[in-house]
Amino acid sequence: MPDQLHQPVMPEQVIKFLNPQTGGKYVDLTLGLGGHARRILECSAPDGVLLGVDRDPEAIRRAKKTLEPFRKRLKIIHGRFSELDVHLNNIGWSQVDGMLADLGVSSLQLQDAQRGFSFQNAGPLDMRMDPGLDESLMTRLARMDEVALADVLKRFGEVRRARVIARRILRSIKEDPLMDTVELARIASEGRRKGRIHPATRVFMALRMMVNREQEELRALLDSLPDPLKPGGRVVFISFHSLEDRLVKQRLRDLEGICTCPPGLPKCCCGVRPLMRVITRRPVIPEQAELDRNPRARSARLRMAERLAA
Ligand SMILES: C[S@@+](CC[C@H](N)C(=O)[O-])C[C@H]1O[C@@H](n2cnc3c(N)ncnc32)[C@H](O)[C@@H]1O
């Protein structure tokens, strides 16, 4: 599969907001196939450096190949972004000038049927971004009950009639432990009308988020802010899910540290200190030309904030 298949989302906007500089230090927390990383390295030439992190060993393997021309200015780590402090420590970096988190799955993961993310082509019920570490979807489902599964479908996918769908899925995997993704999609769509988006889309998204603990990962990364950034350092988030965008928005707003004292107090006594400044008051969305080129970008929302001087 040629690596050009993954088109980075909002590349110009990422560069505009991250504003990579010669000699700067950057982290791409979701390296994928290195589309954004390549642009950051180009814009920070000749001596800007970049750490690329991804939990998917296949993405790491491919990014190493495609980013080979930049190897002298590039470090690549296979791992989770929730452990950013450990990764930075391992390479002897303390703080950086900019970080990018382009959340969710890559086209590489979606298009490889054997990874189990897609319902277009039959594959095993897997969905692990890191096949070496986490439990596969099938293993996870096998130890879940209907209430817990319905809760996941509702929370992460806002799936309607979640309890009915959860019951059907669990019954079917008991009868057929080798069930594939196409069959799972059929079960998840039974009795539901086909609209613009396939009725199984939300079910698959919710299951993927569960298998990869995506919310926990994002929360841990957000909690680590602003420590990994130098004063003036920037962080850019691209989310594809309203829940994730809300988490990002809320945490960045908290870091702005708006004083919560009642109006009229002569002196601030709430102790809330502003740590970051949010630059994108509203989420930035892709332009129509990009959506025409790359429909995968359709639900992308970009937010950016800058660490304030101490
Ligand atoms: C949307 S893709 C990134 C694409 C990339 N920006 C590019 O231009 O090719 C998301 C990537 O993030 C990785 N990923 C998702 N969650 C992660 C996490 N918690 N830690 C590290 N990598 C993660 C996925 O494996 C996937 O390769």
Q: Which of 62-71, 97-106, 111-120, 194-203 has the lowest mean pLDDT?
A: 194-203
The pLDDT value recorded for residue 139 is 95
Atom 18 in ligand 1: residue holding the nearest Cα: 80
- Widest CA span in the chain: 69
Whose Cα sits closest to atom 22 in ligand 1? Answer: 54
* Mutate-to-test residue for ligand 1 from 3, 14, 30, highest number of ligand atoms within 8 A of CB: 30
What's the pLDDT score for residue 169? 97
pLDDT at 5: 58
Residue nearest to atom 13 of ligand 1 (CA): 30
Q: Please choose, from the candidates 133, 127, 148, the residue with its C-alpha nearest in 3D space to the C-alpha of residue 211.
A: 127
**CB < 8 Å & 24+ apart, contacts of 256-264:** 256/305
| CB distance 237 to 302 below 8 Å | yes
Atom of ligand 1 nearest to the CA of 218: 19
Is residue 2 predicted with pLDDT exceeding 50?
no
Say how many Å lie between the CA of residue 163 and the centre of ligand 1.
31
Tell me whether strands 276-278 and 229-239 are parallel, antiparallel or unpaired. Answer: unpaired
Looking at residue 55, its pLDDT comes to 97
What is the CB-side half-sphere exposure of residue 23 using CA atoms within 13 A? Answer: 0
Give the closest residue (by CA) to ligand 1 atom 20: 80
User: By alpha-carbon position, which residue is closest to atom 8 of ligand 1?
Assistant: 35
Per-residue model confidence as pLDDT tens digits over 140-173: 999 999 999 999 999 999 999 999 999 999 999 9
Q: Which residues of 51-61 are buried (b: 16+ CB within 10 A; e: fewer)?
A: bbbbbbebbbe
Query: Which residues lie across from 54 on neighbouring strands?
Result: 78
Q: Which of 78, 106, 107, 217 to mutate to test the pocket of ligand 1 (most atoms within 8 A of CB)?
A: 106
**Domains present along the chain, CATH in parentheses:** 3-108+215-307 (3.40.50.150), 135-211 (1.10.150.170)
Report the C-alpha gap between 5 and 227 in whole angstroms. Answer: 35
For all residues of the chain together, what is the average pLDDT? 94
Pairing of strands 276-278, 301-307: antiparallel
Give the amino acid at 130: D
Number of helices (H), then strands (E), in the chain: 13, 7
**Residue 116 three-state SS:** coil
The set of protein residues with a Cβ atom below 6 angstroms from ligand 1 is 6, 8, 30, 32-36, 53-56, 59, 80-82, 102, 104-106, 129, 217
Q: Whose CA is nearest to atom 25 of ligand 1?
A: 56
Going by alpha carbons, the residue nearest to atom 27 of ligand 1 is 32
| Angle of CA points 165, 207, 117, to nearest 5° | 115
Hey, CA dihedral for 256, 261, 265, 269, is it positive or negative?
Answer: negative
Contact between residue 82 and residue 221 where contact means Cβ atoms under 8 Å apart: yes
Q: Is the pLDDT reported for residue 82 higher than 90?
A: yes
Residue 300 phi/psi, 5° resolution? -70, 140
Res. 73: pLDDT tops 50: yes
Ligand 1 mutation target, pool 6, 14, 55, most atoms within 8 A of CB: 55
Nearest CA to ligand 1 atom 5: 32
E strand residue ranges, the chain: 25-28, 49-54, 74-78, 96-102, 229-239, 276-278, 301-307
Choose between 145 and 177: higher pLDDT: 145
Question: 268 or 68, which is more confident?
Answer: 68
Count Cβ atoms within 10 A of the Cβ of residue 290 and give its class: 0-12 exposed, 13-18 middle, 19 or more buried.
buried
- HEC assignment per residue over 4-57: HHCCCCCHHHHHHHHCCCCCCEEEECCCCCCHHHHHHHHHCCCCCEEEEEECCH
Percent of the chain clearing pLDDT 70 (strictly above): 98
Residue 1 pLDDT grade (very low, low, confident, very high; cuts 50, 70, 90): very low
Q: Which of 15, 26, 54 to mutate to test the pocket of ligand 1 (most atoms within 8 A of CB)?
A: 54
Stretch 187-195: mean pLDDT, rounded? 80
Q: Is the pLDDT of residue 37 over 70?
A: yes
Rounded to whole angstroms, the Cα distance separating 128 from 105 reads 10
Is the pLDDT at 236 greater than 50, yes or no?
yes
- What is the strand order of the sheet 301-307 is part of? 74-78, 49-54, 25-28, 96-102, 229-239, 301-307, 276-278
| pTM, entire model | 0.94
Collapsed DSSP state (helix, strand, coil) of residue 123: coil
